[in-house]
A = this chain, B = another copy of it.
Amino acid sequence: MKTITADQPEFICNISAPCFQMLTPEEMELVKASKTQVLFRKGDTLTKQGAFASYILFIVDGLSRQYIEGESGRTLNLRIIQPGEFIGLSHVFAAPVYNYSSMAITECRAFLIDKAAIANVSQQNGTFAFHIIKRYCLQNANLYHTLQQSAFKQMNGRMADTLLYIDTLKTTHPDIFQYFSRKDIADFTGITTESAVKLLKSFEKDGLIILNEKDIILTNRPMLEEISKRG
């Protein structure tokens, strides 16, 4: 029986992660030796909030969703993770446990790299470290944005923001909205499912969007941006 996690030696060379281009052959070897490839099925948990983080994930293809879990089963969706992105960068240098969960929205091919290997290579190769840190900072900036959102804006502004955010993925994934239920959208916005349903209807009535089954078409982006800004 062939295992799902069969090694593919040329795999690491083909991936579209600019930071790996920075590595010397020896460093590449180190990373290669500490990696494994995993196929996550739709719905699988990639990282679990509170669990030990011993590796980082590099997403090769497929989409996943990063979220934090609150008490009593509540969920706040933070971002959609696309191919070419890392999960768990913050755990390379600090934080022994994941402080968020992530789940495959579609089938996801990822490769896992032992965090010790990344830490080692970073110390040896400044350019690599620079790129890793840059990526990490970009992710963090988004986090602040989300926090800003949920702290200071109210429903309308947050929903506009959610829609604008998900819509940015439409270029690469025209069917992106198909992957999200009303509850998912509510969890991005930080409101109840019922409120999300009502709010979307009201946005449609105001001519901001068109609801077409699960798909959502933004018909008045400037106005949505305005709503997002005003809060």
Question: CB within 8 Å of B: which residues of A?
Answer: 1-5, 36-41, 43-46, 48-52, 54-55, 69-71, 73, 97, 101, 112, 114
Contact = CB atoms under 8 A, between A and B. Distances in A.
B49 A4 contact: yes
B112 A52 contact: yes
Contact of A44 (B2, B3, B45): B45
A45 B38 CA distance: 13
B36 A40 contact: no
Contact of A70 (B4, B50, B51, B101): B4
A70 B3 CA distance: 7
A50 B49 CA distance: 19
A44 B39 contact: no
**Residue among A45, A49, A70 with the highest chain B CB neighbour number at 10 A:** A45
When all copies of this chain in the complex are counted, the total is: 2
A44 B45 CA distance: 6
Contacts of A38: 48-51
Given A39-B69, A45-B45, A54-B54, 5 more contacts: A4-B70, A36-B51, A36-B52, A41-B73, A54-B55
A31 to B, nearest CB: 14
Contact of A4 (B2, B45, B50): B50
A103 to B, nearest CB: 8
Contact of A50 (B37, B45, B51, B52): B37
Nearest to A104: B45
Contacts of A37: 50
A4 B71 contact: yes
Contacts of A114: 52
B54 A41 contact: no
A49 B39 CA distance: 9
Contact of A45 (B48, B52, B69, B112): B48
Nearest to A5: B50
A40 B48 CA distance: 8
Contacts of A45: 44-45, 48
